[in-house]
Amino acid sequence: MLKEKAKAITEKALEAIQQASDSKSLYEVKVNFLGKQGEFSKLMKETGKLPKEDRPAFGKEVNLLKKNIEEAYLAKELDLANVELALRLKTEKIDLTLPGVYRAVGRQHPLTLVIREIVDILSHIGFSVRTGPMIEEDWYNFEALNIPKDHPARDMQDTFYMDDTHVLRTHTSPIQIHTMENEKPPLRVLAPGSVFRCDSDVTHSPNFYQIEGLCVDKKVSMADLKGTISYFVNAFFGQDLKTRFRPSFFPFTEPSAEVDCSCPICKGKGCRVCSNTGWVEIGGCGLVNPKVLVHAKINAAERSDDDYQGYAFGFGIERMAMIKYGIDDIRRFNENDMRFLAQFKR
Ligand code: PHE
């Protein structure tokens, strides 16, 4: 009786295996027949009905049947896997002409590029970089640079005051004083950095960049300053440009000059960038005022033949970038528009 039942179950199982149309339903068949709650487990619970001496033979028989089912199952499983693979290969085509996953590559901001290029060029003639704080004491931003309180030059630089004695630095010149306080001449330093003035339009931003140059040594003259700036302008803008020095005034230099170079866009013929003058202004410069050298304790208050001299210059980074690349609005630098920023590389 039980033997027949076992055979019937086996036939049903083999049939179900053949019928299974995918690996999921095939697995269900296995669970239903060979699983813990499956048909065979139920059948085995009935073995008590058999006479004791028949039980081992029945057990053997059942194991054999189960093995047949197992084999059929494995064969079918392989079949189905092949069928399913063939189907996937047919339906899931990879289009190799589709664009790949795009990852934007970062690059340096045009202002960073300009700063690094200036530092590169001037490092060849002995200049190295110094930095200073953006919040300055009145002494470093003004007083030590020979800009006393109530001096009209303070109004020239629309200052952001933090409190009575601290300002957001209006220029990089205070780094001249820090450097001279901390190091002994001969000095050749460059100080790039962020500066702040209460001023805003297409060519002025309340926060912009400058780069300061300072040389302190014995027998430094205006000729050294002009030579250095001409070398720099030719390296930065191009060999064929001229530099021009116009007399000017800064409290911390004497004599002082404004530096122009012939317009790199039109090569001096006159265009929109240079307002048809053929010249563009890039910054201020001059010989370091002897009073500044005394304030910074480079020279003693009493003059002597052994005194140091120096020259200094300060260029506007945005201005240089605008001139070099023909950019007409200073606000472009802070808009973070990738279409603009992605155009610049060295
Ligand atoms: N600090 C001046 C400015 O911001 C520029 C300058 C620097 C002039 C060094 C002379 C020497 O306008």
| Minimum-distance ligand 1 atom for the alpha carbon of 256 | 10
Tell me what percent of the residues of the chain surpass a pLDDT of 70. 99
| Minimum-distance ligand 1 atom for the alpha carbon of 172 | 1
C-alpha distances (whole Å) from 106 to each of 103, 120, 194, 274 are: 9, 21, 22, 32
Question: Are the CB atoms for 263 and 112 separated by under 8 Å?
Answer: no
Q: What is the pLDDT of residue 157?
A: 66
Q: What is the pLDDT of residues 205-238, one digit of tens each?
A: 899 999 999 999 999 999 999 999 999 999 999 8
Q: What is the pLDDT of residues 286-332, one digit of tens each?
A: 999 999 999 999 999 999 999 999 999 999 999 999 988 888 888 89
The CB of 289 under 6 Å from ligand 1? The reply is no
Ramachandran sector of residue 238 (left: φ over 0; alpha: ψ -120 to 50; beta: rest): left
The answer on pLDDT for 52 being more than 80 is yes
Q: What is the pLDDT of residue 330?
A: 86
Q: What is the pLDDT of residue 167?
A: 94
C-alpha distances (whole Å) from 165 to each of 140, 141, 161 are: 10, 10, 8
The CB of 250 under 6 Å from ligand 1? The reply is yes
The CB of 141 under 6 Å from ligand 1? The reply is no
| Residue ranges per structural domain of the chain | 2-91, 110-341
Best residue among 130, 141, 146, 171 to mutate for probing ligand 1's pocket (most ligand atoms within 8 Å of CB) is: 171
Q: What is the pLDDT of residues 147-159, one digit of tens each?
A: 998 887 776 668 9
- Tallying the residues shown for the chain, one arrives at 346
The CB of 315 under 6 Å from ligand 1? The reply is no
Number of separate helices (H) and strands (E) present in the chain: 12, 9
Residue 146 CB burial class (10 angstroms; 0-12, 13-18, ≥19):
buried
Q: Could you tell me where the beta strands, DSSP code E, fall in the chain? A: 128-129, 135-137, 166-168, 187-196, 207-217, 243-250, 253-262, 279-288, 309-316
Among 3.40.1280.10, 3.30.930.10, 3.30.700.30, 3.30.1330.60, name the CATH number for the domain at 110-341.
3.30.930.10
Q: What is the pLDDT of residue 110?
A: 95
The CB of 145 under 6 Å from ligand 1? The reply is no
Q: Report the chain's mean pLDDT, rounded to a whole number.
A: 92
Distance 345 CA to ligand 1 centre (A): 28
The answer on pLDDT for 239 being more than 80 is no
CA distance 179 to 130: 7
Average pLDDT on 105-114 reads 92
- 69-83, 239-253, 264-278 — which is least confidently predicted? 264-278
Ligand 1, atom 3: closest residue by C-alpha: 171
The crossing angle, in degrees rounded to 10, of helices 2-19 and 23-34 is 170
C-alpha distances (whole Å) from 183 to each of 142, 177, 178, 246, 304 are: 20, 10, 9, 31, 20
- Four-CA torsion 198, 331, 105, 95, nearest 10 degrees: 150
| 3-class secondary-structure state, position 92 | coil
Question: Are the CB atoms for 218 and 308 separated by under 8 Å?
Answer: yes
pLDDT band at 125; cut points 50, 70, 90: very high
